Amino acid sequence: MSDSTIIAMKSVHRIYRTDTLETHALAGVDLEIRAGDYVSIEGPSGCGKSTLLSVIGLLEDFDLGEYRLAGVPVGEIDLRERARLRNREIGFVFQSFNLIQEMTVLENVALPLHYRGGFSRKQQLDKAASLLDQVGLQERADHRPNQLSGGQQQRAAIARALIGDPSLILADEPTGNLDQENSDRIMDLLDSLVDNGVTLLTVTHNPDYARRAHRRVQMLDGRLLGDR
Amino acid sequence: MIQSLQHDLVQAWRVHRASPVASLLIILALATALAFLASFLTLYDTLRPAPPKGFAEPDQLITISFILDGHPQGVSRPQIDLVQEASTGLESAVGITSNLVRWSTDGRNGEVSSEWVTTEYFGGLRPRVLIGRGLEPADHAVDATPVAVLSHRFWEHQFGGRTDVVGQTLSLEIEQPGPAGSSWERVGAVRIVGVMAPEVEASFGQGTAMWLPADPLVSTRFATMGVPDIANRIALYRVIGRTTGERSLDSVERELIAGLVGDGADAIVPAEGRLRVDPGFTFNPPARDEQLRQLQLLLTLTLLVALVAAINTGLYLLARAPARTREMAIREALGATKLRLAQQLCVESVVFLLVALILALILAAPLNGQLRTLPFFQNADWRIGTILDPGIVGILTVVALSMAAISAAAPIAVMNRSGIHSGTRKLGHPISGFQFAGTTLQIVIAGVVTAVTLGLAAYAWELEQRDLGYDRERVVVIVPVFAQSMHFAQNSLEAHQSRRDRVRVALDGITAFEEIGFGLPVPGGKFRITMGVQAWSVDGESVDVQSVSSDIGYGSTLGLRVLHGAWPEPGDPSSVVIERRLAQLLFGRADVVGETFEVTAFPGEPPARTVSAVIEDVVLAHPDDDQDPLLFVEATPFANLDRIILKTSLSPARVREAIQDRIESGALELEIQDVYALDAQFLRIVAEDRARFRVTLVAALLTIALAAIGFYGTQRFLADAHRREFAIRASIGASPSALFRLAILRAVRLGLPGLVLAAPTAWIAVELLEPGLLPSDQSPFAMVGTASIALLVVLLSAALAPAWRSAHAPPAAHLKDD
């Protein structure tokens, strides 16, 4: 594992248990992603793509194996440290945007800095405004998310993902709820992020978008089958 | 229609069964509130003034009470005629006195309550007689053949409802007071002349077995007293009557007051007394007013608890709303109208309330019995009544349906806001108006009830801490019966001294008795003698004092604190001990040892008294009752009823044993009527206050618990409804502690309006209740402040678990699209 390795997973398992059933959502995943990588994970529904993204994004625990994020052994840190790591190292882009309806677009984008601490309210909002400018939403800063189109909401979500200068962007079906035109704009935006040195890991069903990635990883039944 | 109702009932059962513990808790809370409501309604119904049943024109029947020092007084036989003559609006006035009698016939016998009535009872009040006749004027002659009218219940129980009972005879005995206590005197054969209709109850209280003519029985009863014409002098009647129906009660009352209150020749009560006319028959109208006031307070309290319970049911049903939004949306998508869905939600609420109502009616009967034993309801003049009275069941049903409507309103409102088109992409339901209003309202109610409870607790505590001027610890009081006449004319001071000396000598050998005293009344006792004192320091103005028979041991045993002088030696009837306040009243100062004043003396007593000692003020009865200043004399005319007061570590039971030994050995000639510890007696004095506190405490705990459960439910609702929002926050780096703080902050924000409103509302409630029910020295600020802090702590505690749940929910599952 080199210094530029952001994600290093060895034999990671994630098992869902019920009274009568045990499902291996991740059945021994080995994955290494370096800074600047653009990785696309592909696979059929239910193969474990979203679970893998959740585990990588520290939204979900894993049961077995080893996982280091930016050199930090995730299995050994507490919830508070995980939250700190998530805040500093990861930016999420979800299929359903996941903006908070009660807040303005500007406040939504600024929120990660609020949780990071060390930024004044003005600094938070200034930086959020600058990012909205970058994604072409400066006019919509004071709107509520439900006043925006799907594409606009997703651009706001990308701005929010970027505001903390994370080392990794995780995008789970980022165009799943968008029409073709908006989907293309979002993917162009993500491509431009990679061009600027951001590490991007996406899950997508769209082969055209998957082909944009530098590296395409196939997944089946909780296992990574290797790069294509 | 029936099929759809059936479907809704099945669905309601499934929904409630899904969370059995919560459903059971809700039903229990509703049932408890409804059971208390049913009980208090029944108590109220059986206590409130109502036209007596079974009488012609019952609206015209009244009670005329003569009140002195807050208590109704009896009147003598001739005074009943004065009442009759005092108002043209009065058709008849009847004297009535209740007494126990012993009866026997054909080998059966028993002791029952009877009503002795004067001439006008049957002719004037016109009760319905089922069989035979009522009492006629000729039956009231002193030498008339004794006759009786039986109650329907007694007739059915003892004579099997046989119609040939008229003409049969009963052997009757009545209680006759005598020198050595009472004895039973045979009246002879009493002929049964009639049976009262079943609806006619006793004029006062729960029941009577028979009605008897008063004049001949009263003459017999007091025949042995040796006082001429005592039957006409003794004031043992309460007055009931009938108005002409042409005048208002107020005008009849005014007319009676003009003729019978004051200093006139026909006056029955002095100017400081009161005469009042009440509709229906009531033995003790001031006490009934007080009891009704207590019941109104308890009913209000119970209605508030019921309201809180209903709101809680709504909040509980609403807490399931996020989970059921999709179910409702699917139903709507399948063609169910909003009205149809509302019907289903209504049925779910009604099922709760119906089960609770049935449970409440089952619980209410024993609860009703228990509540009647509360100290402030003792001696209440209950009529016969039942929880299953159609009126009460009707009110309960209306209340239960209103509660169902309240509890169904919230989920219906939320359902109206959601549906097929909303929900899936929303991050959660914002809090509804019902939740906000319901939460606020129940916090306000809990705040008011808590503040009132704290006020009552403070008052009960103060009562127990108050310095009453005597020691209660290790004091045991014996109520003896001495074999001597009860009439003061036959008791000399020497006789009292001699008796006290004999007892003292007999008990002297019992080392556990550290001190012995004699006197009457003792603290907590009801006996009192009032006499006038001529206080020359205030130009002959007369003041009333309460006279206390006491020896030197009375003061030392009870730890009365002597401020000046010393307790007089035995054998000096002109020397007295007075309280500080009497000294101030008479002489304007406390150190008045050696001063002399005159009293309105009983025959054989010296009118001039010299102050031997001045003691600190002593409170004999309830600490907050008005009490005349005390004058301690060696022996009042009733000193033969002296209590023996012991300073001892022995329990009352051991004291009784020790004294019984002396009696059996012949060293002591008396009977023990009662032995009790003085501190236990004090607890009996303040029992009403303690009971009021306990009842309110139960209501407060229930209200706070319900408010906490409701608040918890709302927080759970919010936690569920905002899962996705919290997941988003977690995904961008919010730590669990930051999310926990956010959830708590929102809980505080939700509870704050309630807390802010609760404070002034509680303040107003405490201020309104303070003159009568909350005479505490504590400031309302302390009560309201403490209640607010307590509520805040409870609400925060209720919010902890949902907040923790919000903060620690795994975010991944909630970030995916629905």
Does residue B674 lie within any of the structural domains?
A: no
Q: Is A115 on the interface with B (CB under 8 A)?
A: yes
Q: Is B811 on the interface with A (CB under 8 A)?
A: yes
Q: How many whole angstroms separate alpha carbon B694 and alpha carbon B492?
A: 48
Claim to verify: residue B446 and residue B366 sit in the same structural domain: no
Q: Would you state the pLDDT for residue B685?
A: 83
Residue in the block written with tokens 């019921």: B306
Which CATH superfamily groups domain A37-61+78-227?
P-loop containing nucleotide triphosphate hydrolases (3.40.50.300)
Q: Is A14 on the interface with B (CB under 8 A)?
A: no
- Contact of A104 with A141, CB cutoff 8 Å: yes
Does residue B63 lie within any of the structural domains?
A: yes
Q: Give B810→chain A minimum CA distance, Å.
A: 7
pLDDT band at A80 (very low <50, low <70, confident <90, very high): confident
Q: Give B293→chain A minimum CA distance, Å.
A: 50
Contact partners, residue B58, CB within 8 Å, separation at least 6 = B51, B52, B280
Task: Tell me which residue in A51, A61, A112 faces B732 most closely, judged by beta carbons.
Answer: A112
Q: Write out pLDDT tens, residues B73-126.
A: 899 999 999 999 988 999 999 999 988 899 998 888 999 999 999 999 999 999
Q: Give B752→chain A minimum CA distance, Å.
A: 21
Distances, alpha carbon B684 to alpha carbons B378, B467, B688, in Å: 12, 17, 8
**Smallest Cα–Cα separation from B146: which of B186, B191, B98?**
B191
Q: Would you state the pLDDT for residue B776?
A: 58
Spatial strand order in the sheet of A199-203: A90-93, A168-172, A199-203, A38-42, A215-220, A223-227
Q: Would you state the pLDDT for residue B474?
A: 93
**Smallest Cα–Cα separation from B731: which of B816, B817, B818, B815?**
B815
Q: Give B816→chain A minimum CA distance, Å.
A: 7
Beta strand B274-279 pairing with B71-73: unpaired
Distances, alpha carbon A188 to alpha carbons A63, A157, A215, B180, B687, in Å: 36, 15, 17, 115, 83
Chain A residues with beta carbon closer than 8 angstroms to that of B733: 83-84, 86-88, 90, 112, 115-116, 164
- Contact of B345 with B412, CB cutoff 8 Å: yes
Q: What is the ipTM of this complex?
A: 0.83
Q: Write out pLDDT tens, residues A171-188.
A: 998 988 888 888 898 889
Which phi-psi region, left, alpha or beta, contains residue B783 (left: φ > 0; alpha: ψ -120 to 50)? alpha
Does residue B492 lie within any of the structural domains?
A: yes
Q: Would you state the pLDDT for residue B534?
A: 59
Q: Is B746 on the interface with A (CB under 8 A)?
A: no
- How wide is the angle at C-alpha B163 spanned by C-alphas B157 and B166, nearest 5°? 95
- Contact of B573 with B605, CB cutoff 8 Å: yes
**B425: closest chain A residue by CA:** A96
Claim to verify: residue B345 and residue B440 sit in the same structural domain: no
- Contact of B149 with B117, CB cutoff 8 Å: no
Chain A residues with beta carbon closer than 8 angstroms to that of B810: 59-61
Q: Give B806→chain A minimum CA distance, Å.
A: 14
**Between chains, do A115 and B733 touch, taking CB under 8 Å as contact?**
yes
- Using the CB atoms, write b or e for A97-122: b if 16+ within 10 Å: bbbbeeebbbbbbbbbbbbbeebeee
Task: Tell me which residue in A59, A100, A101 faces B812 most closely, judged by beta carbons.
Answer: A59
Q: Is A152 on the interface with B (CB under 8 A)?
A: no
Of the residues A100, A102, A167, A173, the best mutation for testing chain B's interface (the one with the most B CB atoms within 10 Å of its CB) is A100
**Smallest Cα–Cα separation from B791: which of B717, B706, B714?**
B706
**Between chains, do B731 and A160 touch, taking CB under 8 Å as contact?**
no
| pLDDT value at A79 more than 60 | yes
Q: Give B416→chain A minimum CA distance, Å.
A: 20
Q: How many whole angstroms separate alpha carbon B445 and alpha carbon B39?
A: 21
Distances, alpha carbon A103 to alpha carbons A110, A150, B456, B469, B733, in Å: 10, 17, 48, 68, 17
**Between chains, do B733 and A87 touch, taking CB under 8 Å as contact?**
yes
Beta strand B529-535 pairing with B596-599: antiparallel
Q: Would you state the pLDDT for residue B329?
A: 64
Tell me the helix, strand and coil percentages in chain B, rounded to 5.
50, 20, 30
Total domains present in chain B: 4
Q: Is A124 exposed, middle or buried (0-12, 13-18, 19+ CB in 10 A)?
A: buried
Distances, alpha carbon B475 to alpha carbons B510, B513, B564, B643, in Å: 15, 10, 24, 12
Chain A residues with beta carbon closer than 8 angstroms to that of B737: 80
Claim to verify: residue B586 and residue B662 sit in the same structural domain: yes
- The distance from CA B113 to its chain's CA centroid, rounded to whole angstroms, is 23
**A81: closest chain B residue by CA:** B735
- The distance from CA B291 to its chain's CA centroid, rounded to whole angstroms, is 5
Q: Would you state the pLDDT for residue B485?
A: 44
Omega prior to B179 cis, within 30 of 0: no
Q: How many whole angstroms separate alpha carbon B764 and alpha carbon B795?
A: 22
**Between chains, do A87 and B811 touch, taking CB under 8 Å as contact?**
no
Does residue B678 lie within any of the structural domains?
A: no
Q: Which residues pair with B62 in a beta bridge?
A: B241, B279
Structure tokens at B83: 């009442």
Distances, alpha carbon A86 to alpha carbons A198, B568, B775, in Å: 16, 92, 61
Task: Tell me which residue in B427, B733, B817 faces A101 most closely, judged by beta carbons.
Answer: B427
**Between chains, do A86 and B725 touch, taking CB under 8 Å as contact?**
no
- Contact of B613 with B593, CB cutoff 8 Å: yes
**Between chains, do A96 and B816 touch, taking CB under 8 Å as contact?**
yes
Per domain, the residue ranges of chain A are 37-61+78-227
Q: Is A124 on the interface with B (CB under 8 A)?
A: no
- Contact of B239 with B64, CB cutoff 8 Å: yes
DSSP state for residue B228 in the 8-state scheme: T
Claim to verify: residue B104 and residue B181 sit in the same structural domain: yes
**Smallest Cα–Cα separation from B567: which of B556, B582, B552?**
B552
**Between chains, do B815 and A98 touch, taking CB under 8 Å as contact?**
yes
CA torsion B137-B143-B144-B150 (nearest 10°) is 90
Q: Give A58→chain B minimum CA distance, Å.
A: 8
State the amino acid at position A191 in one-letter form.
D
Claim to verify: residue B529 and residue B554 sit in the same structural domain: yes
Q: Give A212→chain B minimum CA distance, Å.
A: 24
Task: Tell me which residue in B728, B730, B816 faces A100 most closely, judged by beta carbons.
Answer: B728
Q: Which domain holds residue B737?
A: 433-466+687-818
**Between chains, do A50 and B816 touch, taking CB under 8 Å as contact?**
yes
**Between chains, do A57 and B731 touch, taking CB under 8 Å as contact?**
yes
**Between chains, do B732 and A160 touch, taking CB under 8 Å as contact?**
yes
Q: Would you state the pLDDT for residue B603?
A: 62
Q: Is A176 on the interface with B (CB under 8 A)?
A: yes
CA torsion B233-B237-B243-B247 (nearest 10°) is 70
Q: Which of B640, B669, B698 is the last residue of a domain?
A: B669
- Contact of B171 with B189, CB cutoff 8 Å: yes
Q: Give B22→chain A minimum CA distance, Å.
A: 24
Task: Tell me which residue in B725, B735, B817 faces A80 most closely, judged by beta carbons.
Answer: B735
- The distance from CA B753 to its chain's CA centroid, rounded to whole angstroms, is 36
- CB pairs < 8 Å spanning A and B: 83
Strand boundaries in B280-396, DSSP class E: none
Q: Is B17 on the interface with A (CB under 8 A)?
A: no
Claim to verify: residue B695 and residue B791 sit in the same structural domain: yes
Residue in the block written with tokens 């289903």: B344
Q: Would you state the pLDDT for residue B488?
A: 42
**Between chains, do B730 and A83 touch, taking CB under 8 Å as contact?**
yes
Q: How many whole angstroms separate alpha carbon B221 and alpha carbon B436?
A: 70
Chain A residues with beta carbon closer than 8 angstroms to that of B429: none
Task: Tell me which residue in A61, A83, A96 faces B733 most closely, judged by beta carbons.
Answer: A83
Residue in the block written with tokens 């001696």: B379
| pLDDT < 50 regions, chain B | 419-427, 485-490, 537-538, 818
Q: How many whole angstroms separate alpha carbon B182 and alpha carbon B221?
A: 10
Q: Which residue stretches of B672-779 are H helix? A: 678-685, 687-721, 723-731, 736-769
Claim to verify: residue B80 and residue B228 sit in the same structural domain: yes
- Contact of B310 with B406, CB cutoff 8 Å: yes
Q: What is the mean pLDDT of chain A?
A: 90
Chain A residues with beta carbon closer than 8 angstroms to that of B817: 95-96, 176-177
**Between chains, do B426 and A101 touch, taking CB under 8 Å as contact?**
yes
* Residues present in chain A in total: 228
Q: Is A86 on the interface with B (CB under 8 A)?
A: yes
